[in-house]
Amino acid sequence: AQAGATDRGIHAEIQQELADARKEVRVEMAKARRELLTGNLRIDQNLQFGKHGKRDRSLPQAEITPAGDFLIAGKVQPIDAAQRRELLAYRRHVTGIALAGIEVGQKAAVAALEAVGGSFISILFNALSGRLEHRVERVVESHVQPMVLSICRELPAVMASQQPLSASLPAFRPYAPLEQDDIDDCEADVRHEFASR
């Protein structure tokens, strides 16, 4: 009887830990979403695509504010109304992709926690046999891969919004690394990444 009570106690503790972890994931992801929507969007660190690291790491910090101001090294750059509209459109596209990335992270974390859930004995057996790791990978892949592929499909809109900015605002041009080959390679790279796991 004592062993049964101990098993139930351990099971309840595991379930509480998993519930706490799910709550923590939700809280952290909500915080990340809030910061993304209300803070300045750094464009010197985002959308790093391509196999050859096209981003010039020596570029000063650049940001787009929620109001559409363009900052380089903290200094507001002169822009006109049309450029502000273009900056805001670009910010919306990039923020949308970042929000989708946050959603992917949350889904992956929750899926992994769900895959782990179970009794103490089943978790222990699956962990010792290596089945737990494979189960978590399968569950995460089934949830995450379609979402990541959908992000790839958003890239043409980002490229389309960065082109007029690059043409009209030369200071923005170095921060617009997305090219057609990045878009062409995105889905293949995602499929390759998941296949190699």
pLDDT given for residue 20 in this prediction: 76
Q: Tell me how far apart the alpha carbons of residues 160 and 155 are, in angstroms, rounded to a whole number.
A: 9
Per-residue pLDDT of the chain (197 residues; tens, 9 = 90+): 555 555 566 556 666 776 777 788 788 888 988 998 899 999 987 655 544 445 556 789 999 999 999 999 999 999 999 999 999 999 999 999 888 888 888 877 777 666 665 544 454 445 555 555 666 666 667 777 888 888 888 889 999 999 999 999 999 999 888 888 888 888 888 777 766 65
pLDDT given for residue 1 in this prediction: 54
pLDDT given for residue 59 in this prediction: 87
Q: Any residues with CB less than 8 A from the CB of 13 and at least 6 apart, and which?
A: none
Q: Tell me how far apart the alpha carbons of residues 149 and 172 are, in angstroms, rounded to a whole number.
A: 27
For residue 42, which phi and psi values (nearest 5 degrees)?
Answer: -75, 125
